Amino acid sequence: MRTSYSELRSPVGTLTLTATDAGLSGVYLPDHRHGPPSRAGWLHDPTRLAGAAAQLEEYFAGVRTAFDLELAPGPGTPFQQRVWRALDEIPYGTTESYGALAARIAAPAAVRAVGAANGRNPLSIVRPCHRVVGASGALTGYGGGLPAKRALLALEAGVAALPV
């Protein structure tokens, strides 16, 4: 399966977007701890990723609070896939603790495993792993770095607080 990629300038740095025929497979921040994989054999195809790029631009402009994209995150253990899908249920402008996320997926003793799976989420921002925080509400760990996590949460808090 061929991987297409593109880059998108954003307020948190230049994002690398990847896709396969099945859908969007990655959104990687500049200092992403677990990705992207080697670009060997990748096809630079901004047109293929234009829809994802447009939705991310709308998100950063504060006009999009949910993504409508075909997602294909690629390899991940069944547990990781379960954690990644659960991220989709964390509402825009809110946070959830690792413990609450573990409990919600019926694995309350797996808080550290949830944290590890969260850190390996290949679809940053789109699958909102930045919304997961420590039990005290403290910002802990983020694959793209804590400054990016802080910026994403601040963006969402500002938009969520606007009068309707």
Write out the catalytic residue numbers: 129
Q: CA of 53: how far to CAs of 24, 28, 76, 136, 158, in Å?
A: 10, 12, 24, 34, 22
Closest CA to 111 of 95, 134, 77: 134
Distance separating alpha carbons of residues 98 and 20, to the nearest angstrom: 30
Residue 94 to residues 98, 127, 147, Cα–Cα distance (Å): 13, 14, 18
Element (H, E) at 18: strand 15-20
With the C-alpha atoms ordered 43, 25, 137, 158, is the resulting torsion angle positive or negative? Answer: positive
Cβ–Cβ < 8 Å for 102, 110: yes
